[in-house]
Chains A and B, each alone.
Chain A
């Protein structure tokens, strides 16, 4: 079967760094997405990785290892507005997205 695993909840301090991990098992693979979702709102696109390595975009970076079926989202210089759920999603061989349940990130002052 197809599966995405990510932690349910994480807590971090304002100004610190946090890494949210995601492991995936899919029938075929065509890329890995990260989305941010604030409570009661729709998800918004953060990043896409299809090749191994780190993609940096401002305070946010995303890493992919295809051989390990593993990705992480790294958030630096955390701000209170980063409190949200972070959704990991893998694109399978049929170009359908398989979604994780999301990681709720709580930022404390």
Chain B
């Protein structure tokens, strides 16, 4: 069976510090991978998606970046965090069924102070 994990679960970082969130998928190959951010009271905002190694599409221009160094690994990074980067970050992969539902990792709560 397929599983998805992301870490760390909780982060408290000062403004201007770097960020690295990691996501891995097991039990499938060449998955479509996504990074979302969820701000309080708002819908999920797609940040990046990837259809393969080294292939990253950015949906929202900002100070975040993403990389896919391996088939089942997706990393979200920032060189200098802003207060507005606080939120709940979710990694997801698109399932294999025709419906194409997303399966999410556990989520990472980032607080920038």
A binding-site residues for B, Cβ under 8 Å: 4, 8, 31, 33, 40-45, 48, 50, 87, 89, 91, 95-102
Contact = CB atoms under 8 A, between A and B. Distances in A.
Contacts of A40: 107, 109
Given A33-B101, A45-B103, A97-B102, A87 B44 contact: yes
Q: Sort A-B residue pairs by CB-CB distance and give the 3 closest, nearest first.
A: A99-B43, A42-B104, A48-B99
Nearest to A46: B101
7 contacts: A31-B99, A33-B99, A33-B101, A43-B44, A43-B102, A48-B99, A95-B100
A44 B101 CA distance: 10
Measured as residues with beta carbon below 8 angstroms from the partner, the interface class of chain B is: 10 to 19
B112 interface: no
A42 B105 contact: yes
Interface of B: 41-46, 90, 99-107, 109
A43 B103 CA distance: 8
B99 A4 contact: no
Nearest to A50: B99
A26 B109 CA distance: 30
Nearest to B107: A42
Contacts of B41: 8, 101
Contact of B104 (A44, A50, A100, A102): A44
